[in-house]
Amino acid sequence: MSKFNYLLTGLIGCVFLSNPVYAEKLNKHRLINHIDSYGNITLRNTDYTELPDDLVLKGNLNLANSKIKKLPKGLVVKGNLNLANTVIRTIPRGTKVEGYLNLAGTTELKRYPRGIKVAGFINFAGSNVTELPQRLTVNGDLSVIRTPLTQLPKQLTVTGNLYLGYSKITTLPDDLVVKGNIYLGGQQITEFPETIKVDGYIFK
């Protein structure tokens, strides 16, 4: 190989190495490559930032640690939705999840919107969520452990357990309903209204 060709090859190699891998939107044709025989989709640790609209999945959708920025309109997940450690900013109204919703460690989702239907538990542990909607019903456990959340919404109903440890919550709403236990995790709650309804126990 001549000295010129050797230098040219080296330069081309440097160009490819220095060019970043750009995030991209995943279309329905390429999505097929990520579906297993059970209908589950795993995009964990991928560079995709968007998914196609009107997506209906018969299994789980795992987007944990991916670069996903927003969810598509009309999303239906008939299994679990895992968004842990993502930079998701919002969840479109009308999103349906027939399993659990994992938002642990999400950094950009500050406000959990109304109109999200989740059949299982919701996990906000370690996220930056600061606001939950009024009249929220969680069909299972609700965890707000290690969040900056300062108050629970009015008319909150949790059919499982409620986990509050290391959050910023110091009071409970007087119309709170918890079908399971409340785990304070050392959280200093200054007031326990007599009107709250807890079917289980309150653990410090």
Q: Distance between CA 20 and CA 67 in Å, rounded? A: 14
Distance CA 182, CA 168 (A): 15
Which tokens is 84 given? 């842990």
Cα angle at 120 between 118 and 123, to 5 degrees? 90
pLDDT(176) > 80: yes
Q: Is the pLDDT of residue 62 over 50?
A: yes
Report the percent of the chain where pLDDT is more than 70.
89
What pTM did the predictor assign? 0.87
Is 159 buried (19+), middle (13-18) or exposed (0-12) by CB count in 10 A? middle
What is the model's pLDDT at position 196? 98
The mean pLDDT of 126-142, rounded to a whole number, is 98
What confidence score (pLDDT) does residue 30 get? 86
Rounded mean pLDDT, 55-68: 97
Task: Give the DSSP H/E element, type plus range, for residue 202.
Answer: strand 202-203
Give the position of tokens 């939107």: 25
